[in-house]
Amino acid sequence: MQGRANRATYWMAIGLIAILYLVFNSMGGKHVAVSEVVLIFICVPRLHDIGKSGWWAAAFFLLEIIVAVVAFSTLSLDAAKTVLGLFVLVVVGFLIWLGSVPGQPEPNSFGEPPAPGIQLKARSKSS
């Protein structure tokens, strides 16, 4: 993935995911989860905007998988669910932090700074 995304675009994407999550889960039936892959695709351009590698998002969510495996293999079911719930709060904190940090105002190795406002396509090096 290449390009950068500003805070407005990031929050629009997070909001859209939250709305879809609420709509699908309020319809009843099977519970729909937000895939970490979707969140990674939203986080990577934002990380690029602040000058960080997108691999940080993948590493962060890989840590979630490791915590889940360790928790469910070593703790009781209730304790493991509690640990995972606490980790979800850490993920939410990361998402809020990522949407709060201003992007670099100058071009960086991931491209030109994004234009103000909501962008439907990330600006890459060649844009």
Q: What is the pLDDT of residues 45-92, one digit of tens each?
A: 999 999 999 999 888 888 988 999 999 999 999 999 999 999 989 989
Task: Count structural domains, the chain.
Answer: 1
Domain-embedded: residue 109 = no
Domain-embedded: residue 50 = yes
Domain-embedded: residue 113 = no
Domain-embedded: residue 110 = no
Domain-embedded: residue 63 = yes
Q: What is the mean pLDDT of the chain?
A: 88
First CA to last CA distance, the chain: 14
Domain-embedded: residue 121 = no
Query: Could you tell me the residue range of the domain that residue 96 belongs to?
Result: 7-100
Cβ neighbours of residue 39 under 8 Å, at least 6 residues apart? 17, 57, 61, 91, 95
